[in-house]
Each structure stands twice: as structure tokens, then as C-alpha cells.
Chains A and B, each alone.
Chain A
Amino acid sequence: MKNISLWIFAAALCLTLGLTSCGDVSKDDSLTKANTAADGQTEQQADRVKKIFYSIPSPVEMVSLIQDVGSRYDYSLLNKVENRTKYSSAKSKAVNLGIYGADLSYTSVFNQNQESILYMSCAKQLADELGVSSAFSNETIARVEENLENRDSLLHIITETFYELDAYLKENDRSNISAQVITGGWLEGLYLASKMVQMYGKGNELSDRIVDQRLALKDLISLNKAYNKDGSLDDVLMDLESLEAIYAEADAGGSVETQVAADGKVTLGGSPAAKMSDAVMDKLIVKTIEIRQKYVM
């Protein structure tokens, strides 16, 4: 009897750990086989894989540029906070959590305190519904409220919060949800930049940044493919690939040349940047708005 109890206890504990703790990274969906067994290695060492990460630039990098080029703050561009209750599926919640996160970065960059609190609240509610409330703790909310007047601190807190959220999702074998959140954030950044280019015209730093998104998009597609074991990201991938097809029409630009200054400061690249014709840019903007509209509903 004692033996049976012991084994039941062991099994229950294993199951609990399997369900609650982060998955072993060796099982990570994004991994690709690389290493092979060598004599004398243990079974665990022999079965290792090379871990490949695809990191996507944060939306805050895009919205900061939107402010830098002198665009005016436009609340009407953001996903309406009332829309939050429309999102019932895990996918729509995850993508819109990313979208609200980018909107939160946008309101914060422009020091719009009231709206920042609203979007933080929206993001928190979606995170709660997705079972990721730990990232948006009361302590985090309090830090946001305390730092509303300090733009840089606020951006640090927001990015750290979404970093925590991503860590939690990846640790708990919910990388497909993580990919959807990241996709939503990236798409909203591209959407906001696109709307600005529509309003203020092309041929500036912002339209260059839109052209540069072809590289981030490539990584984003790889990331979604890596986490698409169950086909839950098929729709997202189809949308991203439709954008990729338009990007394929752009000129990729020259090769890079890294320079090291006398003081040791390294600067990567310096050759001609990628270019896109106005017609292709227009097509890309229309497609971006269409996809984003489909997600926010």
C-alpha cells in the first residue's frame, strides 16, 4: 500500500510540474536539429538541439520614430478600448493584446497619461483572460501610475511588462500565444506608421522604416512557423505572407559595410538602404490596414 501511495504521489507531482512549470527548452517548438551524438556522451547530451530564437523589434521602436518625425498624436487611430469585449477566442485576445500593447507604447511616447492608463487596463484585462495575469501585477500598475510623467521610465516598465508576459507564455509551453501577441504588436506598429505616411507623405524616415520592416517580417514569419505545430497560426501566417509578397517587389538595397571608429565605437552598415516605389508602398499600406482591421474587428 505504501508503495502504491508513493508512486501515485510521484506521478501526481510529475503531472503538476508538467502542467504548471515552464516547458523544458529542449522541447521548444522553435528548435532545429543540429548536434549529433558523440561517443561517451550521455543520452541527454546526445539528443540536444541547436536553439534558434527569432527576436522581433518592439513596437515602441516604431512609435518612438513616429513621434521623432514630428507626427501629431492621433487617438482615433488606435484600437478602441470598447472593442476589448468583442474578443472571445484565445487568438483574438492574444493578437489584440499585442495591438493594445503597441497602442499603449504610442500613448506613452506622446505622454498621454489618461489614455496610457486606459490601454494598460485593456492589456491587463486581456492578459487576465489569457491566464497571464502575473505579468500585469498590482505592483506593475502602481509603477505605471507613479511614472506617468516620466516617459523613459514608463517605456521601460511597459517593455519589461511585455517581456515578462512573453517569458511566462514561453515557459508554459504557450509559445503560439506568444507569437500571436508579438504579431499583433508588430502589425499595429506597421499600421500606425502606415497611417502617418498616408497623412504626412512618403520619402521620409518613417516610410524608410516601413520598407525596413521586410526584415523583421521575415523573422516574424519564421517565428510563427516555428510555433505553428497545431496549425493555430495558419491564418496569421497567411496574412503575413501576403505582406511578404508585396515586400518582395521592393529593392533590397546594397550590401553592408561595418565601420569601427578610432574610439572603438562600432557602426553597422552604411550602404544604400532598401527602396520601394510609391505604388508598392501604397499597396503595402492598403494591405496592412486591411489585415489590421480584420483583427481589431
Chain B
Amino acid sequence: MRKFFSRRLRELRTRDMERKAIIVLLIVMLPAFAFSQCRRFTKVSCIPALGEYIPNENFNSAVLIPGDQAELMMTFYAGQDYRVLICTEDILGEVDYTLSDESGKTIFDSKNMDRGFMDFSVAKTQQVKVNLSVPDRPSTNQLIHEGCATVLIGYKEKG
């Protein structure tokens, strides 16, 4: 009888250890997989939307979760046309974004837009700021929805 209980106890411990190992693996693997998918997501789902605009060479992508914010600074040259594209995975929901000029004035606000990109010309070279904000969502459990967000910039000579 004692042997039976002892064996049973060992089996339970083993199962517990296995469960813990699986949890550790999941915790480590999920963010890594999510981020490694970011490059592919950008390549497949975002870059084609730049159309005839030549993409900038900098990779501006991050794995975000509800409540996260991101900011991008870049210089835009006079005499050129630009497309700034905000590309996010559906799991993040409706990501808010704004684009402000050198004076801090908001030029584009996603709340007033019906498309995911901003096209504009530049008459004077200046620094432009893009702000992204993932809406906070109350969670009923401990699961956090994370997804990729990318800011793409394309340019073309003024037509």
C-alpha cells in the first residue's frame, strides 16, 4: 500500500514538473515567435501597400500590447512626395495614430481618416513625428493580445 502511494506521488510530481516546463516554454517561445513573425508580416502585408513609393531602408517595427505607445521621428526632404503607412496586426484592434509637423501641429489623425496611409508633399525639409497608441482593453483573464505594428515610409520624386 505504501509503495503504491509512493509511486502515485512520484507520478503526480512528474506531471507537475512537466506542466511547469511547458508553461516556461510557452512564456519564452510566444513573444519570440511573435516578433520573428513581424518581419514577415511587414514584408507580406505592409510593403506592397507603399505602391510606387520607394521604401525607406529602416525597419521600424515592434511587438505591441494593449496600452502601448510608440513614436517615430524622421526628416522629410523638401521637394519630395511621401507616403507614411501604419500597418498593424488585427489582434491589436484599432490602433490610433497621428502625424505632426515640426511646429507640433497635428496634420493627420487616424480618427478623421478612412485609410491606413498618409500622403503628402514637403515644401520645407523638416522633422515629422508619428505617434502610435494601442487602445487599452480590459482583460477578463491573464491573456495579453500582442501584435506587430510597423511604420513604413516611402518617397517619390515630386510628380
Contact = CB atoms under 8 A, between A and B. Distances in A.
B137 to A, nearest CB: 11
Given A25-B63, A215-B127, A256 B58 contact: no
Contacts of A185: 57
A216 interface: yes
Would you call the interface of chain A mostly helix, strand, loop, or mixed? Answer: helix
Interface residues of A, number: 81
A273 B125 contact: yes
Given A57-B75, A216-B75, A22 B35 contact: yes
A204 to B, nearest CB: 12
Interface stretch (B1-9, B86-94, B116-124): B116-124
B18 A6 contact: yes
A57 B74 contact: yes
Contacts of B74: 54-57, 219
A273 B28 CA distance: 50
Contacts of A182: 57-58
A61 B36 contact: no
B155 to A, nearest CB: 6
A158 B68 CA distance: 32
B83 to A, nearest CB: 12
Would you call the interface of chain B mostly helix, strand, loop, or mixed? Answer: mixed
Contact of B123 (A34, A50, A68, A268): A268
Given A14-B28, A17-B32, A50-B71, A212 B77 contact: yes
B25 interface: yes
B102 A167 contact: no
Interface of B: 13-14, 17-18, 21, 24-25, 28-29, 31-33, 35-36, 38-39, 42-43, 47, 52, 54-80, 101-103, 105, 107-108, 118-128, 139, 142, 144, 151, 153, 155, 157
- 4 residue pairs, one from A and one from B, having the closest CB atoms: A269-B124, A167-B59, A212-B125, A55-B74
Given A14-B25, A171-B39, A212-B125, 10 more contacts: A7-B21, A35-B68, A44-B144, A57-B74, A162-B57, A168-B39, A219-B75, A256-B103, A266-B119, A268-B122
